[in-house]
């Protein structure tokens, strides 16, 4: 069968395994609000500014005042927004509007953020595990500004590793989640952000930030090794990319970490220079044999708007693809290179795009590797249906579960909302009912 035919058949098979009433992943977002914001860029900007200030508001009246001030700046206001603005004219109206807005933001946040502490979410992680779904816990918090904050984040991460290892020890066996051809896979899996481990991460002086973060990251790597847990280092915006990559590869080259822990990093396919970055990672992996191969999580990238706006402000060419199909094609090319590079690396395909996932799955199967030798990853609240479909096919899937309070989670929440209200987003197109044939077409 031709590659495209096989991808289409695989995509259709996965889509057929989505829960019956769940073909539209946008359904649980406040649909009307999301639909309105997708259609109007000014309104979208106002909503994001509002979501950003919610944690700082002192009460419902304050919330309503901020919301109406932001909405007031939108030139062509649709009728529901006009109605909201009229409510803000009276004290009683503001209380109603503020209460509704607070509930709306909380509702959205809870879709993506599973709870406030690792202990609080232990039951949810266990239920997912029982259903054959692994998890990676992400402690919300990024871009710290003081050393004390960075220390606190590192301590929270160390505590989370302890807690995850202790609760996960008693879970039932799930072979697909626990072993691949390279050996055992840890149950406890934590994702961390380097910008939260140091206040000194600056593009103009990367060494200072690297040194400062290294001290805290080394402690976490040691702890993960002792507890037999996996530590994954997330990738953030481009201004810290090289510093993070250098830091992770340098630390994992140290003799003390040659046998463990299981660790991973992230490759962002929206970056034009990502093929060169992948070559570098693979060269490192071939030259640095480890007890447990480095896991490379392939993503498209969560900071697209930020990268484009920053480049425009400085008059630089955008470092990211500006054509969605070009980004998707690059994701597929990187997926093929990564899958072909096994076993020097472990591969995690992190996407909610059925086409990107089906392409990787078909390439993986064509290579003749065992199904345990590839992992699929999704974000909680966005990839729930895909997660179930993949698990029902006996594939290894891991769900990224952010944990923390609303204040720490705001940047994360805004990124998820930006992604999901963008017209070119796969999930938005799926939510709008685009036919499978179109969704599975080659980019």
Ligand X SMILES: Cc1cc2nc3c(=O)[nH]c(=O)nc-3n(C[C@H](O)[C@H](O)[C@H](O)COP(=O)(O)OP(=O)(O)OC[C@H]3O[C@@H](n4cnc5c(N)ncnc54)[C@H](O)[C@@H]3O)c2cc1C
Residue from the set 324, 329, 336, 365 that interacts with ligand X by CB under 6 A: 324
What's the min distance (Å) between Cβ of 122 and ligand X?
A: 20
> If binding is defined by CB under 6 A, does position 135 make contact with ligand X?
no
The residue whose two tokens read 């259903």 is 131
Tell me how far, at minimum, the Cβ of 387 lies from ligand X, in Å. Answer: 10
Contact (Cβ atoms closer than 8 angstroms) between residue 363 and residue 349: no
The Cα 233–Cα 264 span in angstroms is: 6
Q: Which stretch binds ligand X (CB under 6 A): 222-230, 333-341, 386-394, 421-429?
A: 421-429
What is the total count of residues that contact ligand X (CB under 6 A)?
Answer: 31
Q: Which residue stretch of 125-133, 214-222, 245-253, 323-331 sits at the interface with ligand X (rule: CB under 6 A)? A: 323-331
353 binds ligand X (CB under 6 A): yes
Token pair 């051809």 in the structure block, residue: 181
Which one of 128, 302, 358, 362 is in contact with ligand X (CB under 6 A)? 302
Choose the binding region for ligand X from 120-128, 156-164, 165-173, 351-359 (rule: CB under 6 A): 351-359
Least Å distance between CB 67 and ligand X?
26
For residue 424, the number of C-alpha atoms closer than 13 Å in the C-beta half-sphere is 11
Closest by CA position to 391, among listed 133, 197, 153: 133
Q: Give the separation between CA 283 and CA 405, rounded to whole angstroms.
A: 39
272 binds ligand X (CB under 6 A): no
Q: Please, which residue, 52 or 322, has the CB nearer to ligand X?
A: 322
CB of 217 to ligand X, least distance (A): 15
CA distance 139 to 124: 15
Cα separations in angstroms, 87 against 32, 33, 98, 100, 153: 18, 17, 10, 12, 41
Q: Is residue 235 a contact residue for ligand X (CB under 6 A)?
A: yes
The span of 53-61, 102-110, 295-303, 405-413 binding ligand X (CB under 6 A) equals: 295-303
Q: Write down the least CB distance from residue 127 to ligand X, Å.
A: 18
Distance, CA of 406 to CA of 429 (rounded, Å): 28
Report which secondary-structure segment, H or E, holds 337.
helix 324-341
Cβ 354 to ligand X shortest distance, Å: 9
- Judged by CB under 6 A, the stretch of 51-59, 166-174, 200-208, 297-305 that binds ligand X is 297-305
Q: Does 321 bind ligand X (CB under 6 A)?
A: yes
- CB atoms under 10 Å from CB of 123, counted, come to 11
| Closest CB to ligand X among residues 210, 353 | 353
User: Tokens 């479909």 belong to which residue?
Assistant: 389
Chain mean position to CA 406? 17
Separation of alpha carbons 157 and 137, rounded Å: 10
Q: What's the CA gap between 4 and 285, in Å, rounded? A: 31
Residues 371-400 binding ligand X (CB under 6 A) are 377-379, 400
- CA atoms of 397 and 384, how far apart (whole Å): 11
3-class SS of residue 118: coil
Among 8, 40, 142, 234, the residue binding ligand X under the rule CB under 6 A is 234
Q: Please, what is the minimum distance in Å from the beta carbon of residue 353 to ligand X?
A: 3
Contact 162, 204 (CB under 8 A): no
Indicate which single residue of 120, 283, 323, 340 sits in contact with ligand X (rule: CB under 6 A). Answer: 323
Fill in the per-residue mask, 250 to 269: x = in contact with ligand X (CB under 6 A), - = not in contact: ----------------x-x-
Cβ at position 379, least distance to ligand X in Å = 4
What sign results for the dihedral spanned by CA atoms 28, 30, 32, 35? Answer: negative
By the criterion CB under 6 A, which residues form the site for ligand X?
234-235, 266, 268, 270, 297, 299-304, 321-324, 327, 350-353, 356, 377-379, 400, 419, 422, 424-426
């Amino acid at each position: 069968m031709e590659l495209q035919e096989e991808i289409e058949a695989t995509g259709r098979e996965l889509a057929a395994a989505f829960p019956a009433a769940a073909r539209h992943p946008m359904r649980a977002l406040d649909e009307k609000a999301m639909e309105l914001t997708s259609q109007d860029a000014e309104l979208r900007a106002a909503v994001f500014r509002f979501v950003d200030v919610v944690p700082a508001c002192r009460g419902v009246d304050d919330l309503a005042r901020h919301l109406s001030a932001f909405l007031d700046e939108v030139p062509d206001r649709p009728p529901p927004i006009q109605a909201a603005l009229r409510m803000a004219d009276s004290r009683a109206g503001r209380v109603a509007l503020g209460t509704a807005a607070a509930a709306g933001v909380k509702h959205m946040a809870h879709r993506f953020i599973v709870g406030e502490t690792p202990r609080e979410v232990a039951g949810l992680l266990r239920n997912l595990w029982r259903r054959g779904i692994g998890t990676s816990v992400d402690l919300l918090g990024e871009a710290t500004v003081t050393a004390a904050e960075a220390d606190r984040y590192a301590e929270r991460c160390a505590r989370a590793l302890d807690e995850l290892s202790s609760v996960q020890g008693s879970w039932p066996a799930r072979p697909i989640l626990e072993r691949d051809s390279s050996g055992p896979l840890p149950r406890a899996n934590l994702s961390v952000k380097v910008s939260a481990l140091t206040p000194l991460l600056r593009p103009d002086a990367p060494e200072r930030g690297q040194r400062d973060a290294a001290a805290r990251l080394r402690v976490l790597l040691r702890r993960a090794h002792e507890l037999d847990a996996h530590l994954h280092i997330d990738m953030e915006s481009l201004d810290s990319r090289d510093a993070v990559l250098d830091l992770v590869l340098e630390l994992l080259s140290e003799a003390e970490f040659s046998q463990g822990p299981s660790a991973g990093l992230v490759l962002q396919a929206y970056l034009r220079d990502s093929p060169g970055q992948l070559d570098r990672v693979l060269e490192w992996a071939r030259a640095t044999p480890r007890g447990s191969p480095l896991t490379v999580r392939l993503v498209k990238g969560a900071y697209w708007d930020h990268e484009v706006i920053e480049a425009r402000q400085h008059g630089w060419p955008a470092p990211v693809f500006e054509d969605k199909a070009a980004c998707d094609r690059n994701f597929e090319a990187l997926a093929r290179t990564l899958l072909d590079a096994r076993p020097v690396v472990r591969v995690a395909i992190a996407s909610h795009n059925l086409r990107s996932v089906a392409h990787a799955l078909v390439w993986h199967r064509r290579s003749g590797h065992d199904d345990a030798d590839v992992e699929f990853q999704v974000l909680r609240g966005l990839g729930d249906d895909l997660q179930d479909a993949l698990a029902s096919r006996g594939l290894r899937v891991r769900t990224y579960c952010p944990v923390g309070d609303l204040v720490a989670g705001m940047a994360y929440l805004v990124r998820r909302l930006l992604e999901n209200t963008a017209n070119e987003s796969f999930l938005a197109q799926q939510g709008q009912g685009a036919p499978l044939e179109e969704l599975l077409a080659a980019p």
